[in-house]
Amino acid sequence: MHVAQVEKWGEPPKYTTVATPDPPDPASDDVQIKVTATAIHNLVRLRASGTHYSAKTLPHVPGVDGVGTTTAEGGEEAYFFDYHGSSGTFADLVTVPKANVFPLPAGADPIQVAALVNPAMSSWLALRKRAFHLPPGFSVLILGATSTSGRLAIPIARALGAGKIVGCARSRDALDSLRGVPAGGGGGGGLDSTLVLRDPVTATDFASLGHVDVVLDYVYGPPAEHLLHSVKALDRPTQYINIGGLAGATITLHSRVVRSSKIVMLGSGIGSWTDDEIRDELPGLLRAIVSSLPVPTIEVRSLRDVETVWGQNEKGKGGLERIVLVP
């Protein structure tokens, strides 16, 4: 069968041929799936670079989820994931635990599902499994609101009960395009207010926002560092949840900030929630994708083109937001 395989950390995957695996025993806990669509997520890129904490061994087949059809008699079209398997989803066939396979809801577009579940899951699980005791109509600040995952976090937060959503990013125009847009339409998402990240970041007045109940942070680095030092001026607990590191992998946080503020610091990612928690939430997330989430620009390409599109997407050519690979 065909796979895309990384032979050296940091190099693009190469389209190649490997032995076709035998299907698992029907009595086993695994199932074989013929892959229909799988996406190049940020997590997938980080793993392929060897820099993500969940990266494994070489050679490495990238990919953590997708849509496909089970190969057993009466095959069913389904979404599947496997964050801990020995092989990834950039392949014609994958074998995954049966518990990680979910039938597609009626009306689901396989390409859309493959593109959106992973980036949408970041905010969905952060709010459903990491945040706790949020008040009705809670307020949320999305740091990195113009990223693909940040854009999806807007309608997701609204669907999960947020009463006020503030978006923060560097581009005023991009933020303004997300204001007041209905949660399900136009590729945007309905921000109530915005805050532009200044240059230098320390010129950004986070304290002007007043209290927010929860922060969803996709950027980390200097913006997060400045934000956390600003929270000390607030008098009610704020739950800060780190989801990504688009602006940097480290910060310097003075101990007095932790001692003197009502900040609760959390993370949301592989290791902070379990596969069982993902399974609990996937049916609701899949329904949301079909019914209400905006769709980013999606480029559909053949798996054999992976080496070309890998570099293209990394450089941001053409303004692409999502690439989905098909056999």
Indicate if the pLDDT at residue 186 is higher than 50.
Answer: no
Pick from 212-216, 227-231, 236-240 the range whose average pLDDT is largest. 212-216
Average pLDDT over residues 259-279: 92
| Confidence at residue 94, expressed as pLDDT on a 0 to 100 scale | 97
pLDDT score at 44 = 93
Evaluate the CA torsion angle 201, 205, 207, 212 in order and state its sign. Answer: negative
Q: Which residue has the tokens 């939430």?
A: 281
Give start and end residues of each alpha helix (H) in the chain.
42-49, 110-125, 148-159, 172-176, 221-230, 255-260, 275-291, 306-314
Q: What whole-number distance in Å separates Cα of residue 60 and Cα of residue 40? A: 14
pLDDT at 316 over 80: no
| pLDDT tens figures, 272-297 | 999 999 999 999 999 999 988 887 78
Q: For residue 243, is pLDDT > 80?
A: yes
User: Of 36-50, 88-102, 173-187, which gets the smallest average pLDDT?
Assistant: 173-187
pLDDT on residue 57: 85
Q: pLDDT per residue over 194-203, tens digit each?
A: 999 999 999 9
- CA–CA separation, 172 and 32 (whole Å): 46
Interval 202-218 mean pLDDT: 95
Examine the pLDDT at 217 and tell me if it is beyond 80.
Answer: yes
Q: Among 113-117, 178-182, 294-298, where is mean pLDDT lowest?
A: 178-182
Give the pLDDT score at 12.
95
Q: Mean pLDDT for the chain?
A: 90
Q: pLDDT band at residue 233, thresholds of 50, 70 and 90?
A: low
Rounded CA separation 7/70 (Å): 28
CATH architecture assignment, domain 122-267:
3-Layer(aba) Sandwich (3.40)
Instruction: Centre a 10 Å sphere on the Cβ of residue 48 and count the other Cβ atoms it contains.
Output: 26
Mean pLDDT, residues 61-78: 94
In whole angstroms, give the CA distance from residue 215 to residue 166.
9
pTM: 0.89
Q: What pLDDT does 232 receive?
A: 63
| Half-sphere exposure of residue 126: CA atoms within 13 angstroms, side-chain side | 32
Average pLDDT over residues 204-209: 93
* Superfamily of the domain at 2-109+295-325: Medium-chain alcohol dehydrogenases, catalytic domain (3.90.180.10)
HSE, CB side, 13 Å, CA atoms: give it for residue 16. 13
Domain ranges of the chain: 2-109+295-325, 122-267
Q: Which residues pair with 141 in a beta bridge?
A: 166, 215
Please write the tens of the pLDDT for every residue from 76-115. Answer: 999 999 988 778 999 999 999 999 999 999 999 999 999 9
How far from 113 is each of 67, 198, 215, 220, 229, CA to CA, in Å?
7, 35, 26, 27, 38
